[in-house]
């Protein structure tokens, strides 16, 4: 069953077709990657899926429902989660509070009950904190729960974003260059975490330059070049596709 469907998606900046009639489907519960040389349109595509950009034409469907024109909180409510290329962290909050932010749609945010510290609000807050702590342990960050993110290494901040995205209970999580800036041991841990996410039923989509990681974790790969879909398929088929190799100018894929 397909979870995410991208249908004839287009985005034009001035005269530049950054996304040019791109269509593909992502199967529920699988790990997928979107790859392509610099400027191929990967980030634009991700921004179209998450609603940062509205497409000129085409559709994005999650679980059969169109996301076009829906605000970010509705997309999150429909099961979309994401991380950013550069971690977007609130440094005036503790690590666990950053993860709690990801649950805000599930909490009662009305002013009066919050100001009166109603028992239900206090209980929900405690539950939210416990779940955030659980998610931090899930991504391997239990030692940082009470820490300020400023004291955390870069690789841990990238995992903190994954925990925050998971706090929104996504059906599908988009990871924007999750391996960028990580060392080899951290990449190995990331690979394990991605496999764990997939095993738990979360559909995963990576936008990633690290081909070793992409080839080892992905079930399905979509290749973009100059805004168009150049190829898609299983890692071996994509790696052996002469057009893909040519697009990477001879770089080993």
Give DSSP secondary structure letters for the chain: -EEEEEEEEEEEETTEEEEEEEEEEEETT-EEEEE-STTSSHHHHHHHHHTSS--SEEEEEETTEE-TT--HHHHHHTTEEE--SS----TTS-HHHHHHHTTGGGS---HHHHHTT-HHHHHHHHHHHHHHHHHHHHTT-GGGTTS-GGGS-HHHHHHHHHHHHHHT--SEEEEESTTTT--HHHHHHHHHHHHHHHHTT-EEEEE-S-HHHHHHH-SEEEEEETTEEEEEE-HHHHHT-HHHHHHTTT---
Using the minimum distance from each CB to ligand ATP, give the nearer residue, 67 or 224.
Answer: 224
Using the minimum distance from each CB to ligand ATP, give the nearer residue, 60 or 202.
Answer: 60
| Binding track, positions 164-203, relative to ligand ATP; x by CB under 6 A | ----------------------------------------
| Positions 8 through 67 that interact with ligand ATP (CB under 6 A) | 13, 16, 18, 36, 38-44
Q: How far is the CB of 95 from ligand ATP (least distance, A)?
A: 27
Using the minimum distance from each CB to ligand ATP, give the nearer residue, 13 or 154.
Answer: 13
Q: How far is the CB of 132 from ligand ATP (least distance, A)?
A: 30
Q: How far is the CB of 170 from ligand ATP (least distance, A)?
A: 21
Using the minimum distance from each CB to ligand ATP, give the nearer residue, 43 or 169.
Answer: 43
Q: How many residues bind ligand ATP (CB under 6 A)?
A: 11
Q: How far is the CB of 140 from ligand ATP (least distance, A)?
A: 27
Q: How far is the CB of 37 from ligand ATP (least distance, A)?
A: 7
Using the minimum distance from each CB to ligand ATP, give the nearer residue, 42 or 229.
Answer: 42
Task: Kindly list the residues in this chain that would bind ligand ATP in the complex (CB under 6 A).
Answer: 13, 16, 18, 36, 38-44
């Amino acid at each position: 069953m397909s979870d995410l469907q991208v249908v004839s998606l287009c985005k034009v900046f001035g005269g530049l077709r950054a996304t040019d009639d791109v269509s593909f489907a992502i199967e529920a519960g699988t790990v997928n990657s979107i790859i392509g040389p610099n400027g191929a349109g990967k980030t634009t595509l991700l921004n179209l899926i998450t609603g940062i950009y509205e497409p000129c034409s085409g559709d994005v469907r999650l679980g059969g429902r169109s996301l076009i024109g829906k605000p970010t909180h509705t997309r999150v409510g429909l099961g979309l989660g994401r991380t950013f290329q550069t971690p977007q962290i609130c440094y005036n909050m503790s690590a666990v509070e950053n993860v709690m932010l990801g649950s805000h749609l599930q909490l009662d945010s009305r002013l009066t009950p919050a100001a009166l510290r109603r028992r239900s609000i206090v209980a929900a807050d405690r539950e939210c904190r416990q779940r955030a702590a659980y998610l931090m342990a899930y991504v391997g960050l239990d030692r940082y729960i009470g820490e300020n993110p400023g004291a955390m290494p870069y690789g841990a901040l990238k995992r903190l974003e994954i925990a925050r995205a998971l706090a929104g209970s996504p059906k599908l999580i988009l990871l924007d260059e999750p391996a960028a800036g990580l060392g080899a041991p951290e990449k190995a841990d990331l690979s394990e975490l991605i496999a764990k996410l997939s095993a738990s039923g979360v559909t995963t989509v990576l936008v990633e330059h690290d081909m070793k990681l992409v080839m080892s974790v992905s079930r399905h790969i979509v290749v973009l070049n100059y805004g168009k879909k150049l190829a898609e398929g299983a890692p071996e088929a994509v790696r052996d596709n002469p057009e893909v190799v040519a697009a990477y100018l001879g770089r080993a894929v």
